[in-house]
Amino acid sequence: MRNEKSFLFILVAVSLQFAGSSPDIRKLNGSLISPGVLDLKIRSMMKAANVQGLGISIFNNNEVVYKKTFGYSRIDQQKLLQANTNFYGASLSKAVFAVLVLRLVEEGILDLDKPLQEYLDKPIYEYSPQTKWHDNYIDLKDDSRYKKITARMCLSHTGGFPNWRWDNPDQKLKVSFEPGTRYSYSGEGFVYLQVVLEKLLGVSLEVMMQQKIFNPLRMKQTSYTWQSRFEKDYAFGHREDGTLYEKDKDNEARAASTMETTLDDYTLFTKGVLKQSILNASSTKKMFSPQIRLRSIQQHGPLRFRDTSMNDNIQLSSALGWLVLQSPFGQGALKEGHGDGFQHYTILFPAKKIAIVILTNSDNGESIFKELLEVAIGDTFTPWYWENYIPYSQKKKVN
């Protein structure tokens, strides 16, 4: 009898701990999950998949109802990850840049459909490079198709550039297909748009971002270049076996890929998008408007050249800086980030006023995304196979 009473006491105590003062999290279908239960599930997934660190924010009614960090910013030193720890943002950079571009469109500075070369007073390949490599366009001298590329094409990955020039056998930048006719993921397209804007406005990407995005949203720990203040607390990327990548602090600002941010700051950015505090409703709708349907089996790798109907049910499409899908709960707008040791994902369901931000500093991070999205917000629509988010349970079977 005494043991039974002790067990009941522990059970009640645990239940009270889970109940706490935080509200339950509402999923897309209206069901609820308590923060305490979600905590346990996240820790279980991270342990099973060997994910070293994770930060997560969840929105209900366009407000943060859950924001927590788990694990380590640097596992060999057992340094705990914090909400203000700096993360390498990888391609989340593109979503933030897209908001900047749509803001410039709002202000009448940029037209999405005007060829970008027409904003310049001479061919872009005649400008002297100001960076190590990314604004060197000499290879386009004999490639007239680049003159057709617009901001819309850059943001929707239909401009014809490769992801990076280094992907080509000769490592030279060239237009691979008629601009605007097909989708091909391209960091170079975003950087081309960035360089044109820098020449047009006479200011750097970093200055534009601080003035138009970061300062208004109070994103004090976000930048497209490494800042000395980040030295205080930043996350290291971890390989699949848990060993560390060397931290890269030498990147010049590139719209597609170099943003450093924190869970706190990217949560502020997501809130700003949801509440339309940077872009008005019309511009937000434009940013999330489908530009071209995506029918490839996967986004990257050899399967990107083979088509399928597997994502027709969600009408997966490229929008402007984001991808979009259709669900019974309205449109979903998503963006991923992937770099050595850093894997991130965010998806917004504006009609339901529900969103999630996931940041990880592990090459195993993506292996828990499918399960985490389903558990946390009931998202069963994210095209996890197309994104190559192979669940850790399936990876174990293969290995």
* pLDDT at res. 265: 98
If residue 198 lies in a helix (H) or strand (E), which one and from where to where?
helix 187-201
Helix/strand/coil percent split, the chain, to 5 = 40, 20, 45
* pLDDT at res. 397: 65
* pLDDT at res. 250: 86
Q: What is the pLDDT along the chain (399 residues), one digit of tens a residue?
A: 444 444 344 443 444 444 446 799 999 999 999 999 999 999 999 999 999 999 999 999 999 999 999 999 999 999 999 999 999 999 999 999 999 999 999 999 999 999 999 999 999 999 999 999 999 999 999 999 999 999 999 999 999 999 999 999 999 999 999 999 999 999 999 999 999 999 999 999 999 999 999 999 999 999 999 999 999 999 999 999 999 999 999 889 999 999 999 999 999 999 999 999 999 999 999 999 999 999 999 999 999 999 999 999 999 999 999 999 999 999 999 999 999 999 999 999 999 999 999 999 999 999 999 999 999 999 999 999 999 999 999 876 655
* pLDDT at res. 9: 41
* pLDDT at res. 399: 56
* pLDDT at res. 1: 45
Q: Copy the structure tokens of residue 267.
A: 């949560």
Strands 25-26 and 292-293: unpaired
* pLDDT at res. 204: 98
3-class DSSP assignment, residue 82: coil
* pLDDT at res. 181: 97
* pLDDT at res. 7: 39
Distance CA 291, CA 319 (A): 5
* pLDDT at res. 296: 97
Residues in Cβ contact with 40 at an 8 Å cutoff, skipping those fewer than 6 apart: none
* pLDDT at res. 251: 86
Q: Copy the structure tokens of residue 8.
A: 């009941």
